[in-house]
Chain A
Amino acid sequence: MSNYSKKRFLVVDDQPQARDALRTVAQTIGAFAVEFGSNYQDAIYRIRNNAPDIILCDYMLGDGRSGQQLLEELRRFNLLPDETIFMMVTGEQSYEQVVSAVELVPDDYIIKPFSPDKLVMRLDRIVAKKNFFAAYYREKRKQEFANALDILEAQRQSEAGRPYRFEIMRQQAEVLLRNGDAKAAEAAYRSILEDYEFPWARAGVARSLHRQNRLTEARQEIDRVVASTPHFFDAADLKANICMALGEHAEAQQILDEIAKKTPRNYLRKRLLAEAATLNGDAETARAALADVIANDTMPGAIAAKDRLAMARSHVDANDKISGEKVLVTMRDAEVQAMTLDEQAGFAALLAICSPERGKARFVGLRPALLETDLEPTTRIDVLRAALSIGDHELADRHAEIMMGGSDAKKVFGALRTQYALYGREKDFREIQKQVALKRIHQIEAEKTQTEA
């Protein structure tokens, strides 16, 4: 048995009685330092300030939040070191269904009631497993992905790795995807599926296909997952993203609308809903979702310049330029200066749209950079709109051409067409489309000649 007297425990539960019970159990197994997190926010605050060694977290946290959501948020914001033990505690049998399906899982879960002995047994095993993966965690943290993959492959073939084979394969697939090798990640997930139809592995295939821009196939794979595991919310997010990439914005919005109702305090999902609604031309839904995010996402540092720009954008979409301007001008100079080039471009473009007298000069000043810089599709649309509004055809057409020739063409097509139509330039847009298509054909033919030669 490991020595738990020197470990720092954090017990997260919104019910005082249950919290006391968990602390009692932790103390019975030798823990001295047991902190409490009385709610979601408090737990995040404590973990951020000083990550504990062991987190015992109840699945039901009240107030529309779950331990699973806490875990997901901690992982996404990189607040949970791989070395920290996260144990979900639950009286709900249904949590097993979640664990067996989703991509982000705790180190283990334990069903109430349980004895201190059983908790020790479970914790000891997690400690052993974390020791087994220690070298891999180090390389992963340094983002030395090639080294991390070498370690995993050696472990997969080792005798000591036999009890952890699936975890090794899962980590391999995740690292491959993180390292940008979507094709290899797809193969890794598929080899896991040969053993069993795990929803998380099928979702991994869809994610890898999405990264390869093989959208129709990605769509088929994720449809299977969503249909069979409705409680796997991340899969629904992924499906919505794939739908957006395919230009099916109404469906994306509908999917997100539905699950956002079930997870009302998941603000990453609310942001995604706003994105889908924006693309779908539903400015009011986007406005409401973003207002909710900005008012209620209390995750420290969560509200970024990107969110304020999205808020301003949705006001513009709703034809409420005054509110858009208000959002933009309340951003402090320091905040604007700290923005990425992409965000600065978006800021300048949106301000030029909302208030030409306040924003046009800045926007025009950025023009040389805007012609040359590689920008996110959302920002490109902002720039294109601002350019159209001031009659800068060259700048607008340049961004339209790049977007229509790129991998986001289906995603942004509707938005571009709408913008060109607003300025009576439908014909010009069709011409851009035609030129892009011709260029593509020439390219394919050139590639063909090359291969034949």
Chain B
Amino acid sequence: MHHLLDILASGVHDAKNQLFVAESVIAALEAEHGIAMGEARYAIESAANRLSRTLAAYQVLRKDAAPAVTPVIVGDLCDEVVMAQQRHLALANITLSMDCQVIDEWLLDRDLVADMLNNAIQNAGRYAQGKVHLQADVEDGWLLIRIEDDGPGFPSLPPPYGTGLMVAHRLAALHVRKGREGSLHLSNDASLGGARFELRLP
């Protein structure tokens, strides 16, 4: 029944293994010669994320995507996203800052959410003038993760609804807990003056 999905998943899996071999070779050279090749590694990881996201999109479109929910320390999640994006943004003179006010664990799909946040920060970085901010809070029993920038904001709201956005909305909505459903909100309400991406998870 899932024959095609299996073929795709196995192809993505093999490709990611190859990318890992490439990244480890680069990391070893960096350590050996003291040269920074962060951008090469960034490109490799972005390619891998892109592959994963494509597979996730396929599953979402087939309506057989299920979140893999585990308890996640929100601060750890934010740290990882910052680590993945900070250096790359710095090369474009963009500062990525982070403020996580959540101490407790949250129940979410760590890899799906990390991927959404990485993607949102990449987008913000494209339009920001010099600042992108990642903020995590708990309000009324919801986890709110916001990514804001100081760019011009979305030219129109809601923004054009492409496949990527559709998938992101669906992935947010897959997080269901106690009858409440996760959601995604895009606006120009950023305190930095630009666009705001807000993920709300129950």
Contacts and interface: CB of A to CB of B under 8 A. Distances in A.
B17 to A, nearest CB: 5
Q: Which are the 10 A-B pairs with shortest beta-carbon distances?
A: A96-B68, A113-B20, A21-B24, A112-B20, A100-B68, A91-B16, A166-B71, A113-B23, A91-B13, A24-B24
9 contacts: A17-B21, A18-B21, A91-B20, A93-B9, A93-B111, A163-B73, A166-B71, A166-B105, A196-B69
Interface stretch (B25-33, B122-130, B131-139): B25-33
Interface stretch (B40-48, B151-159, B161-169): B40-48
B104 interface: yes
B27 A93 contact: no
B20 A115 contact: no
A256 interface: no
A258 interface: no
A91 B15 CA distance: 9
Contacts of B12: 91, 93
B177 interface: yes
B166 to A, nearest CB: 19
Interface residues of A, number: 38
A92 interface: yes
Contacts of A24: 24-25, 27-28
Interface of B: 9, 12-14, 16-17, 19-25, 27-28, 30-31, 41, 44-45, 48, 52, 55-56, 66-71, 73, 76, 79-80, 83-84, 103-105, 107, 109-111, 177
Given A91-B16, A114-B20, A121-B83, A195 B103 contact: no
B55 A118 contact: no
Interface of A: 15, 17-18, 20-22, 24-25, 27-28, 91-94, 96-97, 99-101, 111-118, 121, 125, 162-167, 195-196, 198
A377 to B, nearest CB: 38
A165 B104 contact: yes
Contacts of A92: 9, 13
Given A18-B17, A24-B28, A91-B20, A167 B71 contact: yes
Nearest to B114: A111
Contacts of B73: 125, 163
A343 B74 CA distance: 52
B111 to A, nearest CB: 6
Contacts of A97: 66, 68
Contacts of B27: 24-25, 28, 115-116
A114 B46 CA distance: 11
A17 B109 CA distance: 30
A118 B83 contact: yes
A118 B44 CA distance: 14
A115 B41 contact: yes
Contacts of A163: 73, 103-105
A99 B70 CA distance: 8
A127 B5 CA distance: 37
A7 B30 CA distance: 22
B103 A162 contact: yes
A190 B73 CA distance: 22
Contacts of B55: 93
Contacts of B69: 100, 196, 198
Contacts of A100: 67-70, 109
B107 A195 contact: yes
B90 to A, nearest CB: 15
Contacts of B56: 93
Given A27-B28, A28-B27, A112-B17, 15 more contacts: A18-B20, A21-B25, A24-B27, A28-B30, A91-B14, A93-B55, A99-B68, A101-B68, A112-B19, A113-B44, A113-B45, A113-B48, A118-B84, A125-B73, A198-B69
Among B14, B25, B70, B111, the most chain A Cβ lie within 10 Å of the Cβ of: B70
